[in-house]
């Protein structure tokens, strides 16, 4: 039997495990959510997990700060795979894992988020298997999909300066009565 879970990598309670059990689970700041994260960056109803075909599908519910999977902002539903990094806004990073459990084992925790005691500055202790390092994903700024192409800005500033210089020149010619000096072909010069 396989059970799915989120492990908080960064946020208000690093190391906390959120067991996932159910067909429809809500993630958000509201305490009634299956995955409740009390942080200002998280909307009350931030995103939804749907269990479909033995896999969880995540979708953003119009949250203010967005839901990201492996650094990509969600524009629609996405099927989660073990090892995916789910971010809520910029600071909340959850690791999605599939945990193989013994069918005969007794589970003595509730299905709601298990609140861990406050952790000290030392590294959190995880399961027996070493997990891949996702610290780079947590500290890397999320790509917005836009490139910072400055060429149009430089062209626009250059055109603006050229127009200003031309206007200034014609103002000076008019103010100093030098029309005939610079433009002798004008009638009346």
Q: Look up the pTM and report it.
A: 0.53
Cβ pair 137, 93 in contact under 8 A: yes
Instruction: Give me 164's structure tokens.
Output: 């200003």
Concatenated DSSP letters of 99-162: EE--TTPPP-S-SSPPPPPPP-SSPPP--SSPPPP-HHHHHSPPP-S-----HHHHHHHHHHHH
Dihedral pair phi/psi, residue 160, rounded to 5°: -60, -45
Predicted confidence at residue 2, as pLDDT, reads 52
Q: What pLDDT digit, counting tens, does each position of 131-151 carry?
A: 444 444 444 454 555 567 888
Q: Is the pLDDT of residue 42 over 70?
A: yes
DSSP 14: T
Strand-pair partners of 35: 27
Task: Find, among 82, 67, 75, the residue nearest to 20 by Cα.
Answer: 82
CB contact burial 140-173 (16+ within 10 A = b; e otherwise)? eeeeeeeeeeeeeeeeeeeeeeeeeeeeeeeeee
Span 65-116, pLDDT tens digits: 999 999 999 999 999 999 999 999 989 999 999 887 655 555 444 444 444 4
* pLDDT tens readout for residues 51-69: 998 899 999 999 999 999 9
pLDDT higher than 70, residue 18? yes
- How far does the chain reach from its first CA to its final CA, in angstroms? 98
Length of the chain counted residue by residue: 189
Under the banding of pLDDT at 50, 70 and 90, the label for residue 3 is confident
């Amino acid at each position: 039997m396989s059970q799915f879970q989120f492990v908080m990598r960064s946020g208000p309670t690093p190391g906390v495990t959120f067991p996932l059990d159910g067909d429809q689970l809500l993630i958000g700041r509201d305490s009634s959510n299956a995955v409740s994260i009390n942080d200002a960056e998280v909307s009350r109803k931030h995103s939804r997990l749907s269990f479909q075909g033995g896999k969880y599908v995540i979708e953003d519910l119009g949250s203010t700060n967005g839901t990201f999977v492996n650094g990509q902002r969600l524009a629609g539903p996405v099927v989660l795979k073990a090892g995916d990094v789910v971010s809520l806004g910029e600071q909340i990073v959850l690791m999605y894992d599939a945990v193989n459990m013994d069918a005969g084992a007794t589970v003595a925790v509730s299905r709601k988020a298990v609140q861990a005691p406050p952790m000290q500055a030392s590294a959190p202790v995880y399961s027996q298997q070493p997990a891949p390092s996702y610290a780079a994903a947590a500290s890397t700024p999320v790509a917005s999909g836009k490139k910072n192409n400055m060429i149009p800005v430089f062209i626009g500033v250059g055109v603006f300066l050229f127009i200003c210089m031309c206007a200034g020149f014609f103002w000076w010619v008019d103010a100093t009565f030098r029309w005939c000096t610079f433009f002798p072909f004008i009638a009346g010069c």
